[in-house]
């Protein structure tokens, strides 16, 4: 398999939606030795998780604090809009998107018929470097 950022069907990103981002950063930094780089997006800060210098995921504030903190996996796909339509036709629910992430790609969140949540993402070619890592 090639890079998870260019291979359709691969798990490419892990994102923690947290009610307490700073506590999460401290916990996971200590447990796994992860480092974090904070960028500022339209909805607020986004903390990129880096493992040995490689971006592997992110931590973002929970937009619905009544919901518990949770992890979501992002699956690389060629066409997010087609995946969203197909998921709905198979009894899934579209929770968010499809929506563009500037300079990264396009994504959506899907709930399967059993209630599990996962995300689909198509990366822009300019978001993946020559070593097939996100930039």
Give the DSSP letter string of 84-104: HHHHHHTT-EEEEEEEEETTT
The answer to whether 24 and 32 have CB atoms below 8 angstroms apart is no
The reported pLDDT for the residue numbered 129 is 60
Is residue 45 assigned to a domain?
yes
Is residue 4 assigned to a domain?
no
Is residue 133 assigned to a domain?
no
- The average confidence (pLDDT) of the chain is 91
The reported pLDDT for the residue numbered 3 is 86
The reported pLDDT for the residue numbered 131 is 55
Is residue 77 assigned to a domain?
yes
Is residue 102 assigned to a domain?
yes
Is residue 81 assigned to a domain?
yes
The answer to whether 21 and 59 have CB atoms below 8 angstroms apart is yes
The reported pLDDT for the residue numbered 74 is 96
Asked if residue 48 has pLDDT above 60, the reply is yes
**Cα atoms found within 13 Å of the Cα of residue 113, Cβ hemisphere only:** 6
Entry pTM: 0.84
The reported pLDDT for the residue numbered 57 is 96
The answer to whether 111 and 119 have CB atoms below 8 angstroms apart is no
Is residue 35 assigned to a domain?
yes
Is residue 1 assigned to a domain?
no
Asked if residue 130 has pLDDT above 80, the reply is no
CATH of the domain at 91: 3.10.180.10
The count of domains in the chain is: 1
Q: Which domain holds residue 100?
A: 11-127
Tens-digit pLDDT profile for residues 61-119? 988 888 899 999 999 999 999 999 999 999 999 999 999 988 899 999 999 999 999 99
């Amino acid at each position: 398999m090639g890079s998870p950022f260019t291979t359709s069907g691969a798990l490419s990103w892990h994102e923690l939606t947290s009610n307490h981002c700073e506590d999460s950063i401290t916990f996971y930094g200590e447990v796994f030795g992860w480092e974090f780089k904070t960028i500022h997006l339209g909805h607020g800060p986004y903390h990129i998780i880096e493992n040995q210098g490689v971006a592997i995921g992110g931590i973002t504030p929970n937009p619905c604090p009544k919901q518990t903190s949770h992890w979501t996996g992002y699956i690389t796909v060629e066409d997010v809009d087609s995946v969203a339509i197909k998921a709905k036709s198979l009894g899934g629910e579209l929770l968010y998107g499809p929506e563009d992430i500037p300079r990264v790609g396009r994504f959506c969140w899907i709930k399967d018929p059993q209630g599990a949540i996962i995300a689909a993402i198509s990366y822009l070619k300019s978001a993946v470097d020559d070593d097939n890592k996100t930039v």
